[in-house]
């Protein structure tokens, strides 16, 4: 359950939690994918409303809407669209932020789901492989 819950918030933590929990590679991969996709489903439904609320909150605090991070997100969207956002979501963005960005820029729920799914499968397999293969070596140094 911890792998699933961690993957909902911070995807890269799922493989680490999977190894720490003593799960097999396949169990960890599947739970990591399930965690991210749960967040994708939830936030693709409420994404635009959440983005409007967040934007109003920033304006109420007199904080700039366009900061360095937001400009980078816009640059990724303008260059690669929903595919680029989906590809970077597990490793750079969080599942929450990636889904909200895609929803805010007008991607359909179907597009968001499809692209986030292949991204979750790809990155889950790769990150879990790295953690399960090289985790013992890394734990010696940290």
- 10-30 tens-digit pLDDT: 998 999 899 889 899 999 999
Say if CB 4 and CB 29 are below 8 A apart.
no
Confidence of residue 54 (pLDDT cuts 50, 70, 90): confident
> What is the distance between the alpha carbons of residues 24 and 65, in angstroms, rounded to a whole number?
43
Query: What pLDDT score was predicted for residue 142?
Result: 46
Mean pLDDT of the chain, nearest integer: 86
81: nearest Cα among 50, 49, 104: 104
Judged against a pLDDT cut of 70, whether residue 7 lies above it is answered with: yes
Those residues whose C-beta lies under 8 Å from the C-beta of residue 4, and which sit 6 or more positions away, are: 14, 31, 34, 35, 38
Distance, in Å, from the CA atom of 71 to the CA atom of 76, rounded to the nearest integer, reads 9
pLDDT at residue 50 is higher than 60: yes
Q: Where are the alpha helices (DSSP H) in 2-108?
A: 2-9, 13-20, 25-60, 68-88, 95-104
Note the pLDDT of residue 29: 95
Res 110 pLDDT > 70:
yes
pLDDT band at 128 (very low <50, low <70, confident <90, very high): very high
Supply 78's token pair: 């303008």
Structure tokens at 137: 């070596």
Q: Quick: pLDDT tens for 63-85.
A: 666 677 778 888 888 888 899 99
Q: Is the pLDDT of residue 138 over 70?
A: no
Nearest CA among 62, 56, 4 for reference residue 31: 4
């Amino acid at each position: 359950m911890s792998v699933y819950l961690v993957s909902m918030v911070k995807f890269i933590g799922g493989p680490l939690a999977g190894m720490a929990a003593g799960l097999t590679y396949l169990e960890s991969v599947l739970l990591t994918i399930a965690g991210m996709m749960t967040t994708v489903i939830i936030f693709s439904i409420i994404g635009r409303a959440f983005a409007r609320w967040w934007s109003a909150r920033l304006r109420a605090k007199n904080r700039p809407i366009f900061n360095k991070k937001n400009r980078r997100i816009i640059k990724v969207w303008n260059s690669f669209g929903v595919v680029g956002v989906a590809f970077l979501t597990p490793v750079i963005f969080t599942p929450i932020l990636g889904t909200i960005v895609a929803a805010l820029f007008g991607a359909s729920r179907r597009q968001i789901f499809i692209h986030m799914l292949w991204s979750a499968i790809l990155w889950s397999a790769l990150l879990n492989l790295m953690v399960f293969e090289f985790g013992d070596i890394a734990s010696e140094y940290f």
